Structure 1
């Protein structure tokens, strides 16, 4: 039976390679606080710093058979923590960029949706205003704007002069502009 507290890192590493759980416990007790201090110094979230240190020890236990090249455990574990901290900070940076990107896309989507709703409301108002036009005016407007007829075609279709078509279309557009401008303000 060993007195684990007096063993050096090389001896503890040798015992750890053989699966000695008490050697692992001694390493854990010897280095946990130091490693936590290193992690907590770089990462403001203490829970995350603790998780980093715990992951280092889990990894140490899983890779215990590969430790024959390690002479001093302290520097090895400290470097491991630093690399994990760098990895976590890089991940945070990527997450922040992704979050910023998704917020930007969401704002564009939200804006597009709002524009579509505004357009639909405007189109509904326009339809109501067109329906309120006098009959001939409304008919001339629809043939011109909705069916794409020229003034000459409208005149032929309705059996009226082109000047009359022009007058009805001018009256319709003026009325609609006036009513829509009050709506858009």
Structure 2
């Protein structure tokens, strides 16, 4: 790593919000090996682990202005990697299940209107989940997208199961309200 001033995590986050390349570079070099080790320990393929770590840093840079880290930067990044790993594993599992039990072509036949509606609903769901508070969004995604239980989510994020339940309730209420108004205008 090039010689750069060493900053605390709090200072790094402040500088990152001000578009500091130096802060981002320091965060990258300080945490890349740790994040890679976490991802590689759970995955069989190191290329997949590298890809996940790169996604974490890309997302950190993309969301640098809006990100709020309530715990340490190290804990946040470690939880983000675990979340991405579990999401990746769940997606791979779903793909293998889909291939094993793929329905006949007649069942898959849908109209272009059905495809358009499905796409609009998926986009709406994505938009709504992105508007959730950070912890609430993480809990929702770990539950619904990665398929983790409340106990697994609590362990991954280092929070209590009760907090997981509260965050899920909060997320589902917001989704229900948002979809109710969306579906009213949609149909």
Q: How far does the alpha carbon of each residue in 1:125-168 deviate from its partner, in whole angstroms, 9 at most, with x for none? A: xxxxxxxxxxxxxxxxxxxxxxxxxxxxxxxxxxxxxxxxxxxx
The change in CA–CA distance for 1:69 and 1:31 in structure 2 (over 3 A counts) is closer
Report what 2:7 is aligned to.
7
Gaps of 5+ in 2: 106-187
| Structure-2 separation of matches of 1:94 and 1:32 | 28
Task: Assess if the C-alpha contact under 8 Å between 2:9 and 2:72 holds in 1.
Answer: yes
TM-score of the aligned structures, taking structure 1 as reference length: 0.52
Task: Assess if the C-alpha contact under 8 Å between 1:10 and 1:71 holds in 2.
Answer: no
SS in 2 for 1:67: coil
Deviation at 1:6, TM superposition (A): 2.2
Larger Rg: 1
Deviation at 1:26, TM superposition (A): 0.4
The change in CA–CA distance for 1:56 and 1:70 in structure 2 (over 3 A counts) is same
SS in 2 for 1:66: coil
Deviation at 1:69, TM superposition (A): 3.9
Q: How does 1:8-87 map to 2 (within 5 A)?
A: 8-87=8-87
Report what 2:154 is aligned to.
none
Report what 1:114 is aligned to.
none
Structure with the larger helix share: 1
Task: Assess if the C-alpha contact under 8 Å between 2:69 and 2:76 holds in 1.
Answer: no
| Structure-2 separation of matches of 1:32 and 1:13 | 16
Deviation at 1:98, TM superposition (A): 1.1
| Structure-1 separation of matches of 2:69 and 2:49 | 27
| Structure-1 separation of matches of 2:97 and 2:69 | 39
Task: Assess if the C-alpha contact under 8 Å between 1:38 and 1:78 holds in 2.
Answer: yes
SS in 2 for 1:6: coil
| Structure-2 separation of matches of 1:48 and 1:76 | 20
The change in CA–CA distance for 1:13 and 1:71 in structure 2 (over 3 A counts) is farther
SS in 2 for 1:7: coil
User: RMSD in angstroms over aligned alpha carbons?
Assistant: 2.0
Gaps of 5+ in 1: 107-185
Number of residue pairs aligned between Structure 1 and Structure 2: 103
The change in CA–CA distance for 1:5 and 1:42 in structure 2 (over 3 A counts) is farther
Moved over 6 A (4+): none
Q: How far does the alpha carbon of each residue in 1:98-120 deviate from its partner, in whole angstroms, 9 at most, with x for none? A: 12124x969xxxxxxxxxxxxxx
Report what 2:101 is aligned to.
101
